[in-house]
Amino acid sequence: MQLSKNNGSLSNGASDNAGAFSLSDAELLDKAKTIRRHIVEMVGKAGSGHPGGSLSAVEIVTALYFRALRHNPKNPQWADRDRFILSKGHAAPVLYAALAECDYMPVEELSTLRQLDSRLQGHTDMTTVPGVEMSAGSLGQGLSFSVGVALAGRLDKRNYWVYTLLGDGECDEGQVWEAAMAAAHYKLDRMIAFVDYNKLQIDGWNKDVMNLEPFTDKWRAFGWYVIEIDGNDFGQVFSAIDSAKKVSNQPKMIIAHTVKGKGVSYMENNVDFHGKAPNEEEIKKALKELK
Amino acid sequence: MLESTRDAYAKALLEVGRKNADIVVLDADLAKSTKTITFAKEFPDRFFDCGIAEQNMMSIAAGLAASGKVPFASTFAVFASGRCFDQLRVSIAQPGLNVKVVATHGGITVGEDGASHQGIEDLALISPLPNFTVIVPADSVEAAQAVEAAAKTQGPFYIRMSRSSTPVIFGDDYEFSIGKSVTIRDGKDAAIIAVGIMVAPAIEAAERLTADGIDCRVINMATVKPLDEEAILKAAAETGCVVTAEEHLVRGGVGSAIAQVVAENQPVPMEFIAIERNNAKSGKPELLLERCCLTDSDIEQAVRSCISRKG
Ligand SMILES: Cc1ncc(C[n+]2csc(CCOP(=O)(O)OP(=O)(O)O)c2C)c(N)n1
């Protein structure tokens, strides 16, 4: 089932909510499925890419673009828009799929992923795709970038929110913790970050490659307000965002427990599908599961 | 008169900061040394100390630039180029964000702090990065104007300043322009193309050579990227030999970039005054310059030898 684009109503309420989509709960579940199908199809067509960490983040990204975020696809540079900064740039497919479903670009363009001269680069490029806020791909830089965006918002007295999505493996990078310190130091309470805590990176489980635990304690010790949720559950994502917004004077971290490869049985918790495309048969199987 | 380019940076930053409220400054716990402290005092709300976290600083600067600010980010040249190379590359250069990296303490004239603090590879690291304009001012007058030009020009900049006080070469009527070299002294027998603190000894060498009837052109190539190719080729064609002079490793430095232009279009004998080996050590700047063969006499000798190789 191909959902029509823009099936979310554009709210016409308060001006600070201009451009926001607000899908119903049922519509959101459908949208998540559509986005998962796009991910499988586009990575499959490209013959390479990162399905695992894209699929684990579908609920977070869908919740943001189709309800939580104030944004306007007709005016991607709208100065007061909320920002979504994808720090783990290899999860580009989930972002591209969400942007296309919001009409930042035609859905058909998704099939050009990773091809020569496509706007859809293997890792996000802010200069080619409207709606992409940061050029990423080298892990560990997005939280710092978000600090800069939040500082600018404060200087300009704009009250946009800065959402950031980090990978758990990405948190091995020292720069993430430099940024964590800076965000708390500058009391950047317009920052709401997520860690897509799917427990897997490339070489295996976090606990075997480089242990992150006690993870929430670390963020708390760095001065962040921490909420722990099931990140594949829309209800929990929204209530976490709601409670995060109520906390002032400190940045907020939502540790989102997720399943890598979520929604495609043979990809779930399978590290092989971190950076491997499904073959034709696997694509068919996945699409059947995602009907 | 002597003045350091970092002192000129401090003054210029105030000037541009007063004119443009979007200018913000970042430092990494070196504000007293890089002199950004002057800006911090006048504009505390527009100054962000990032602590000793240079990589974080560069990506924060990128986020500020992406949100319409004009960030100047400062630390020592070694850290600005080496420590955060990947952040400069991915967060700033590839998307072409409007970040001005002003690195102080470039070169060996950092002096006594020794090898870890002497930035002698920075130009080799930064020049290949896409979208970056790279400037090495020759004196404080040019340094101030380079800062003003960078503030007004969209895109990432790397400007290398020095710790030590150096001779003021240019007068108040000097006009710096990005990408344009300046012929300080005309000549037909040889051309010295110098950058940064090597411009003053290049002038000295050229003047000394007149005693032997050698008429030497001196060009200040302040913009290291993009190079003023026209001036380079004109010098090669009209003088028949080129000597480059820089306070940087010979490999990957300005000399090698100029040699590429010369070799491709107008091959003539060349000699390179630069640091041959990474033999940086602690010591007084003047002694280090002597040890690394970066003095006016070294330039003078190179010119003589280069002329003798002409066909
Ligand atoms: C600085 C850097 N080092 C290495 C890589 C290669 N790399 C790409 S994805 C990845 C694993 C990321 O794991 P995680 O952050 O947990 O992402 P997820 O599991 O959500 O996909 C690595 C090591 C990179 N992109 N950047």
pLDDT, tens digit, 9 for 90 and up, residues A192-229:
999 999 999 999 999 999 999 999 999 999 999 999 99
Distance (Å) from the alpha carbon of B141 to chain A's nearest alpha carbon: 31
Query: B90 and A182 in contact by Cβ < 8 A?
Result: no
Catalytically active residues of B, by annotation: 54
Give yes or no: residues B123 and B190 share one domain: no
Name A123's Cβ contacts closer than 8 Å, sequence gap at least 6.
A89, A90, A92, A135, A136, A137
Q: A156 — contact with chain B (CB < 8 Å)? A: yes
What residue's CA is closest to ligand 1, atom 18?
Answer: A53
Please tell me the distance from the alpha carbon of residue A225 to that of residue A227, in angstroms, as a whole number: 7
Please tell me the distance from the alpha carbon of residue B288 to that of residue B259, in angstroms, as a whole number: 26
Query: What is the residue-wise DSSP string for A102-153?
Result: TTSS-GGGGGGTTSTT-SS-SS--TTTSTT------STT-HHHHHHHHHHHH
Closest Cβ–Cβ partner in B56, B63, B87 for A149: B63
The pLDDT value recorded for residue B146 is: 98
Give yes or no: residues B159 and B294 share one domain: no
Query: B46 and A155 in contact by Cβ < 8 A?
Result: yes
Domain enclosing residue B223, as ranges: 182-308
Instruction: Tell whether omega for the bond before A251 is within 30 degrees of 0, i.e. cis.
Output: no
The pLDDT value recorded for residue B272 is: 98
- Pairing verdict, β B242-249 and B270-275: parallel
Neighbour tally for A279: CB within 10 Å: 11
Give yes or no: residues B106 and B65 share one domain: yes
Q: Is the pLDDT assigned to residue A1 strictly greater than 90?
A: no
Give yes or no: residues B194 and B299 share one domain: yes
CA of A122 to the centre of ligand 1 (A): 13
Residue B177 zone, left/alpha/beta (φ > 0; ψ -120 to 50; rest): beta
**Residue A89 and residue A136 in contact, taking contact as beta carbons nearer than 8 Å:** yes
Give yes or no: residues B241 and B132 share one domain: no
CA of A219 to the centre of ligand 1 (A): 20
Which tokens sit at B201? 């000894």
Could you tell me which residues are beta bridge partners of residue B191? B217, B242
CA of A197 to the centre of ligand 1 (A): 13
Q: Which residues line ligand 1 (CB under 6 A)?
A: A 50, 52-53, 56, 88, 90-91, 137-140, 167-170, 196, 198, 200-202, 260, 274
The pLDDT value recorded for residue B5 is: 96
Query: B56 and A134 in contact by Cβ < 8 A?
Result: no
pTM, full prediction: 0.94
Q: What is the ipTM of this complex?
A: 0.93
Residue ending a domain, choose from B110, B143, B167: B167
Instruction: Please give the mean pLDDT across all residues of chain A.
Output: 93
**Residue B112 and residue B284 in contact, taking contact as beta carbons nearer than 8 Å:** yes
The pLDDT value recorded for residue A2 is: 33
Architecture of domain A21-289: 3-Layer(aba) Sandwich (3.40)
Give yes or no: residues B99 and B36 share one domain: yes
Instruction: Tell whether omega for the bond before A76 is within 30 degrees of 0, i.e. cis.
Output: no
Neighbour tally for B289: CB within 10 Å: 23
Please tell me the distance from the alpha carbon of residue A149 to that of residue A141, in angstroms, as a whole number: 13
The pLDDT value recorded for residue A19 is: 52
What is the helix, strand, coil percentage profile of chain B, to 5?
45, 20, 35
If one residue of A173, A194, A201 were mutated to test the ligand 1 pocket, choosing by the most ligand atoms within 8 A of its CB, it would be A201
B50 residue type, one letter: C
Q: Which atom of ligand 1 is nearest to the CA of A200?
A: 19
Distance (Å) from the alpha carbon of B90 to chain A's nearest alpha carbon: 7
Q: Burial level of A261, CB count in 10 A (0-12/13-18/19+)?
A: buried
**Residue B215 and residue B187 in contact, taking contact as beta carbons nearer than 8 Å:** yes
Name B99's Cβ contacts closer than 8 Å, sequence gap at least 6.
B58, B61, B62, B64, B65, B71, B73, B92, B156, B157
CA of A8 to the centre of ligand 1 (A): 33
Residue B120 lies in a domain: yes
Three-class SS state of B270:
strand
Query: Count H helices, E strands: chain A?
Result: 10, 5
User: Residue A9 has what DSSP assignment?
Assistant: P
Residue B172 lies in a domain: no
The pLDDT value recorded for residue A87 is: 98
Q: Which atom of ligand 1 is nearest to the CA of A56?
A: 20
What residue's CA is closest to ligand 1, atom 11?
Answer: A201
Read off the CATH number of the domain in which B289 is found.
3.40.50.920
pLDDT tens-digit readout, A126-143: 999 999 999 999 999 999
**Residue B121 and residue B201 in contact, taking contact as beta carbons nearer than 8 Å:** no
Give yes or no: residues B224 and B198 share one domain: yes
Reading chain B (311 residues) residue by residue, the pLDDT tens digits are: 999 999 999 999 999 999 999 999 999 999 999 999 999 999 999 999 999 999 999 999 999 999 999 999 999 999 999 999 999 999 999 999 999 999 999 999 999 998 899 999 999 999 999 999 999 999 999 999 999 999 999 999 999 999 999 999 999 999 999 999 999 999 999 999 999 999 999 999 999 999 999 999 999 999 999 999 999 999 999 999 999 999 999 999 999 999 999 999 999 999 999 999 876 789 999 999 999 999 999 999 999 999 999 98
Q: Is the pLDDT assigned to residue A3 strictly greater than 70?
A: no
Mutation pick from B60, B64, B87 vs chain A, by most beta carbons of A within 10 Å, is B60
Domain ranges for chain A, please list them.
21-289
Give yes or no: residues B191 and B290 share one domain: yes
Give yes or no: residues B92 and B216 share one domain: no
Q: A180 — contact with chain B (CB < 8 Å)? A: no
What is the count of structural domains for chain B?
Answer: 2
pLDDT tens-digit readout, A40-71: 999 999 999 999 999 999 999 999 999 999 99
What residue's CA is closest to ligand 1, atom 17?
Answer: A167
Backbone angles phi, psi at A186, to 5 degrees: -90, 10
Residue B244 lies in a domain: yes
Read off the CATH number of the domain in which B66 is found.
3.40.50.970
Residue B227 lies in a domain: yes
Q: Is the pLDDT assigned to residue A12 strictly greater than 60?
A: no
Question: In A, residues 42-101, which contact B (CB 8 Å cutoff)?
Answer: 79
- Pairing verdict, β B166-167 and B242-249: unpaired
Which tokens sit at A188? 């950047």
Residues found in chain A: 291
